[in-house]
Structure 1
Amino acid sequence: MRKQTILFDMDDTLIYCNKFFDLVIDQFADQMETWFNGYPFSIEEMKKKQAEIDLERVLVSGFSPDHFPQSFIDTYEYFTDLTGRTKSQEEVERLLTLGASVYGHSIEPYAYMEETLRELQGDGHELHLYTGGDPAIQMRKVTEAGIERYFADRIHITRHKNAEFLNGLIRAYGFDRRDTWMIGNSLRTDILPALKNGIHAIFMPVEREWAYNLVEIDVEPSGAFFTLTSLSQIPETIRGYAISKYASGS
């Protein structure tokens, strides 16, 4: 079997992420319900507005660490303007602190993370970590998850994770697209860019996905495109595809 180049997403592929955002959003909604008690708004309406604002910010500024806390402030100001309720700097600061707290949670790996990376490395493949976000925050996660030994200096972090950046990465490292894989949970930032760049893709859907990650796949795969439900399925899937591909001479 020929060596494959395998790019892994990190958040909600190797380690949990969205569930911590959901917990903080629930705390935000509870706080907003307390402050806006008596006004004709439900918790769900407040959460929907926050999600809309957060999505708009990410589309403009990418994975900046400021966008999530700021979405709390923007939502708070939207409802104070709507109701005429007095704005409070103390409340603003409280929301900023709450929003920023999402980046300090303990790392929780997905099942079979360690075993999967070890097996792929043992098969002789070259592993890369390709993740979106703030470099300092993402590197803290890498360190706490203990996965540096699998990726070494092959860790790529960007605030704008898209087809253009991936293409630049492929060209800069001279990846053979016929032997390159992208593995991740995001249709928008992992799978669609991979298919647009003519590399293999493995989609790892999660139970509760961030709306930002959900897009239509409108590209015909030129290579492999699998949907798997466990990291443990990845080594055999890649092994089986690579062996059958080269056995057939394609």
Structure 2
Amino acid sequence: MRDFSDIKVIGFDADDTLWVNETYFRNAEVEFAKLLTSYETLNKIDQELYKMELKNLPLYGYGIKGFMLSMIEMAIELSDGEVKSTIISEILNIGKRMLNKPLELLDGIENVLKTLYSKNYRLILATKGDLLDQERKLDQSGLANYFHHIEVLSDKKEQNYNTLLDHLDIDPNEFLMIGNSLKSDILPLINIGAKAIHVPFHTTWAHEKVTISETEGKAYSTVSSISEVLKYFN
């Protein structure tokens, strides 16, 4: 078992680490594709929507609102500009339903936060996505009081983490990140000298997936559930 005795600050991802998120995007993609089957096959619509999302990331960033705009743009493109206003309206409704989803905490997360907080670890939340939506979810979660600092990042690359840790005066050697995404929550931290625990979620956006070669030789831990994290802090 890895030695985390030097750890003083523990960071947590939010979406699909604290609460369910990606499942709603996958369901929305299915709804969207069904709206446009008169123009293209389901599989092709799914592929093209993903390409559109990646193209728009630099403009809209991560989150439901950017996803909505990408769906609308994709509908216009696939229909050669002939998509009906009723379909555009339904696309907006798909997004609004996502934004109004009741929060679903993942099993065991509050106990983990409560236990680590009681052991005097400094806990921070480091997530990406739409600021308003993340604030809404955090408020509904009832978990905000466990965190000394909450940061909604535009992205989760090495520079983003370096800037955050510098701002909070945190030594990377004393920092541990816990999250579901190898690409966003694990590898960038390992690369800057911090530690990380990977807690896989059953659904992962294709953009967050990494190859075996990218993880080869990288020292991080993997647990099957968030509750298993506590075994490192007995």
TM-score scaled by length of structure 1: 0.84
Contact 1:8 1:182 in 2 (8 A): yes
Question: 2: CA distance between counterparts of 1:90 and 1:51?
Answer: 23
Counterpart of 1:181? Answer: 176
DSSP 3-state at the match of 1:161: coil
Offset at residue 176 of structure 1 (A): 2.0
Counterpart of 2:187? Answer: 192
Counterpart of 2:65? Answer: 66
For 1:48, the aligned partner's letter is: Q
Q: 1:229 aligns with which of 202, 224, 228?
A: 224
Q: How does 1:51-200 map to 2 (within 5 A)?
A: 51-59=50-58, 61-81=60-80, 86-152=82-148, 154-200=149-195
Q: How does 1:211-222 map to 2 (within 5 A)?
A: 211-216=206-211, 217=214, 220-221=217-218
Q: Deviations over 1:126-170 (max 9, x none)?
A: 100001012211011111010011014x00112222211110111
DSSP 3-state at the match of 2:107: coil
Offset at residue 2 of structure 1 (A): 5.4
1:44 aligns with 2:40: no
Offset at residue 187 of structure 1 (A): 1.8
- Which structure: larger Rg? 1
Q: What is the total number of aligned residue pairs between the two structures?
A: 228
Question: 1: CA distance between counterparts of 2:221 and 2:132?
Answer: 32
Q: Deviations over 1:218-244 (max 9, x none)?
A: 5854xx51011101111212x26xxxx
DSSP 3-state at the match of 1:114: helix
Q: Deviations over 1:22-64 (max 9, x none)?
A: 122221122222xx1xx5x321221221122112222554225
Contact 1:68 1:100 in 2 (8 A): no
Question: 2: CA distance between counterparts of 1:148 and 1:44?
Answer: 40
Q: Deviations over 1:60-95 (max 9, x none)?
A: 5422543200121122122212xxx73323322321
Counterpart of 1:18? Answer: 22
Q: Deviations over 1:84-137 (max 9, x none)?
A: x73323322321232343122110011101111111112221100001012211
For 1:47, the aligned partner's letter is: D
Counterpart of 2:11? Answer: 7
For 2:20, the aligned partner's letter is: Y
Structure 1 gap ranges (5+): 241-250
Contact 2:64 2:95 in 1 (8 A): no
Structure 2 gap ranges (5+): none
RMSD (CA atoms): 2.0
Contact 2:10 2:122 in 1 (8 A): yes
Offset at residue 199 of structure 1 (A): 0.2
The 10-residue stretch of structure 1 (194-203 or 20-29) with the greater mean CA deviation from structure 2: 20-29
For 1:174, the aligned partner's letter is: D
Question: 2: CA distance between counterparts of 1:112 and 1:92?
Answer: 39
TM-score scaled by length of structure 2: 0.89
Question: 2: CA distance between counterparts of 1:50 and 1:56?
Answer: 10
For 1:54, the aligned partner's letter is: E
Offset at residue 182 of structure 1 (A): 0.8
